[in-house]
Amino acid sequence: MSRSVLVTGGNRGIGRAIVERFLAEGHKVCSADFGGEAPAGALGVNCNVTDAAQVDAAFAAAEAAHGPVEIVIANAGITKDGLIMRMTDEQWDAVIDVNLKGCFYTARRAVKSMMRNKYGRVVFMGSVVGLYGNAGQVNYSSTKAALIGMARSLTREVGKRGITFNVVAPGFIETEMTAVLPAEVTDGFKAQTPAGRMGSVDDIANAVAFLTSDGAGYISGAVIPVDGGLGMGH
């Protein structure tokens, strides 16, 4: 069945792979992003997720083109790393705004039409560091941990309406976000990862495709690690 899908931050990295995966499966996809170009075949909507009005407008555009949004991937996220003594208020606020407030705006708007339709699949893009922690990422890891509370509270609020909310927690994935890291950091992560390699964007798209499928309707409030074993036990 072809569904109406909206992916935030779908023009690059993990989000782009997710958009391409949904398109390949025959879904109608909107990429809500504020830079770059949406993959061919997707509806690209300029949207900064830190602005509720822009999030509303993106959903309205997706609905006009594809019908009520049934699958939402709250994927847009940024890092502004720094050790706590040197982390500025701006670094803290910027990451909270995109990674946490952006997901709140996205989920709030998503639930509105999903409640009416009594069907929905929402996936939040978390991270292994939400539970594992990571020096230099107090802001980032706090937002990723918070998404677990968000998914679980929403599951309790509207779980009876046929809507699921889950968190995918990627480990170390090859994208532009991680390309900027020095080789010793990358090598260190690889050494800690039982799979012995970085993940690919398709590894994440596979998990998202499963969680948003019709058959995954009894999975909600779950945290699905896709991290080669890096975060095991957390």
Which residues bind to ligand NDP, rule: CB under 6 A? 8-9, 11-15, 33-36, 47-50, 75-78, 98, 102, 125, 127, 170, 172-173, 175-178
14 or 119: whose CB is closer to ligand NDP? Answer: 14
Identified catalytic residue from 119, 132, 140, 218: 140
43 or 119: whose CB is closer to ligand NDP? Answer: 43
119 or 172: whose CB is closer to ligand NDP? Answer: 172
Question: Please, how many CA atoms are within 13 Å of residue 202, restricted to the half-sphere of its CB?
Answer: 1
- Shortest Å, Cβ 9 to ligand NDP: 3
12 or 152: whose CB is closer to ligand NDP? Answer: 12
- Shortest Å, Cβ 214 to ligand NDP: 25
- C-alpha to C-alpha distance for 127 and 141, rounded to whole angstroms: 8
Beta bridge partners of 5: 29, 71
- Shortest Å, Cβ 142 to ligand NDP: 12
- Shortest Å, Cβ 197 to ligand NDP: 12
140 flagged as catalytic:
yes
Which active-site residues does the annotation give? 140
